[in-house]
Amino acid sequence: MCLFCKIVAGEIPSTKVYEDDTILAFRDIAPMAPTHILVIPKVHIPSVDGITAENSAVVAHIFETIPLIAAQEHLVSGYRVVSNCGQDAGQTVPHLHFHILGGKELTTQMA
């Protein structure tokens, strides 16, 4: 089982900020901004490369929920959503996740 599947299963603790039947959001263990949250599908999808017509409903649900999480976290002046896919992007956990970064003015350097 991958690290984030273990978090979904409750085998590894996390600080949850949102959860429903199909997705989970929790605080990143090594935050890169004052607010740094990871939003994941509960089902194991390895990365953005693994999104298909069959499983993309959960991705849509994640993006419908991100604004609610951002509001809950008072990210009133904006935030960034990032997903690292594969080696060149530095993906370290092979379970699809979207970073929500905010709480400060973020650098404009994206790559």
Asked whether position 28 contacts ligand 5GP by CB under 6 A, the answer is yes
For residue 61, indicate whether it is catalytic: no
The amino acid occupying position 40 is I
The one catalytic residue in 36, 95, 97, 99 is 97
Specify which residues 18 forms β-bridges with: 25
Give the one residue of 10, 21, 30, 108 binding ligand 5GP; rule: CB under 6 A. 30
Structure tokens at 88: 């060149």
Residue 2: name its binding partner from ligand 5GP, Zn ion, none (Cβ under 5 to 8 Å by kind): Zn ion
Task: Name the minimum Å distance from CB 55 to Zn ion.
Answer: 13
Question: Of 48-56, 64-72, 84-92, 103-111, which segment contacts ligand 5GP by CB under 6 A?
Answer: 84-92
Asked whether position 35 contacts ligand 5GP by CB under 6 A, the answer is no
The amino acid occupying position 2 is C
Under 8 Å CB-to-CB from 2, ≥6 apart: which residues? 44, 93, 94, 95
Q: What are the percentages of helix, strand and coil residues in the chain, rounded to 5?
A: 25, 25, 55
Sign of CA dihedral 60, 48, 67, 13: positive
Active-site positions read: 97
| Binding footprint of ligand 5GP on the chain (CB under 6 A) | 3, 12, 14, 26-30, 38, 84, 90-93
